[in-house]
Amino acid sequence: MKVSILGHGVVGKGVWDMLQGNPNFEVVNVLVKKGEKTADFMTESFDDIWHDDSELVVECMGGVVPAYEFASKCIEAGKSFITSNKALVATHGIDLLNLAVKNNKGFLFSAACGGAIPILQNLHLARKSDSIIWAGGILNGTTNFILDSMDSRAIGFDEALSEAKALGYAEFDPTADISGMDTMRKIMLISMVAYDVLPNSDYNVEGIQTVSAFDFEVAKKMGCTIRLVGRCGLSDSGRLYAYVQPMLCSRSDFYAGVCSNINMAQYEGKNSGVMSFMGQGAGRYPTASNILRDMTSMYEGQSHMLKSKCLFGFANNSSKECEGVYYVRLKSDLIPVLESHCGVDKVLCEKDGKKCVITKPVTVKAMHDIAAELRRKDADVFFAQVKG
């Protein structure tokens, strides 16, 4: 199968390396940035790939512009399309699916969620014979590395982020990693595959911008640590929920054992029970390995992991499945605000005018709304759901 590659950075170069000596694929062209052409197989012009005789294009550039334009042109030119670009799929996945179906071409994107972890392909298979109750997990290597480093090495947030950047885990601009939006995009992809819905409104996202050494001190005293977790699922009434937020989990919990840049993707099938996939969630060869799996699946005849009925939808995070108790650190004089909205079950400690408390049960949507109100008075609020 003739293939061209868009991008020769961390992931694109990994794909190119892994294809050397592979008898099933012949690389026609590789798109590189202006001024970076150093070999005959490279081109600086997308038009060379648009008009070449490749049957499959693999995109590893990242970002929505110009990736969406390039993807559309490739599919319309009769090429199948594989991508590791979660922003592209979370924004235009439904358009690309429709275009691929219309042109009778393939569209796969396993490497856009979880690096090497085969969560999307397994969900695609599992949902054919089982009902997926929920899916998600620890899906961002950068934030997991930061949280684990702050906990196990007692280093500061900024130092841990610099290390994550140097190790190639973080995005070029790590804002999406830290804010939880990178995890949310992965949840969107999971939801598309598991539920035929791309939740593009009313989801809740809380990142780790405000986590502090003090939160880890308190967590440690409780026998817990902190992780960033995303989840989507169906409530009893059949409505979709989708959110990302920090979680306080016991040291004996699975999530506490997910260290460094490792991810753990999970789903619960009605019949299978909880399935967990743990592995490298980012990095050159782990991510490229998932692209190679998609390429091989396409070579063997698979075209899609989405159903053509996949639609945009909204999330409803007010159902009882979204209820939990939260650890909250806030200014002591803001406690009455928290009391009036959800109630405080327990005060854990007080230091330098801040209190750490455990709330009474509250839904994800309500907790995120309360946090937004508290932050209008003081931005330095941290909250994490206490894992049951």
Site for ligand HSE, rule CB under 6 A: 115, 140-142, 169-171, 177, 182, 281-282
What's the gap between Cα 231 and its chain centre?
10
**Catalytic site includes residue 186:** yes
Per the DSSP assignment, residues forming a β-bridge with 56 are 3, 80
Instruction: Please give the angle made by the CA atoms of 181, 185 and 191, to the nearest 5 degrees.
Output: 135
Closest separation in Å from C-beta 56 to ligand HSE: 22
Return the closest-CA partner of residue 363 out of 237, 241, 238, 267.
241
Closest separation in Å from C-beta 141 to ligand HSE: 4
Q: How far apart are CA 214 and CA 218, in angstroms?
A: 6
261 vs 316, beta carbon nearer ligand HSE: 261
The residue annotated as part of the active site, out of 13, 79, 105, 186, is: 186
Closest separation in Å from C-beta 247 to ligand HSE: 17
Q: What is the DSSP letter of 276?
A: E
Closest separation in Å from C-beta 140 to ligand HSE: 4
Decide if 207 contacts 244 (C-beta within 8 A).
yes
Instruction: Please give the angle made by the CA atoms of 120, 141 and 157, to the nearest 5 degrees.
Output: 155
Q: How far is CA 188 from CA 81, 135, 185, 385, in A?
A: 19, 11, 5, 21
- How does DSSP assign 123-162, residue by residue? HHHHHHHS-EEEEEEE--HHHHHHHHHHHHS---HHHHHH
The residues that are catalytic are 186
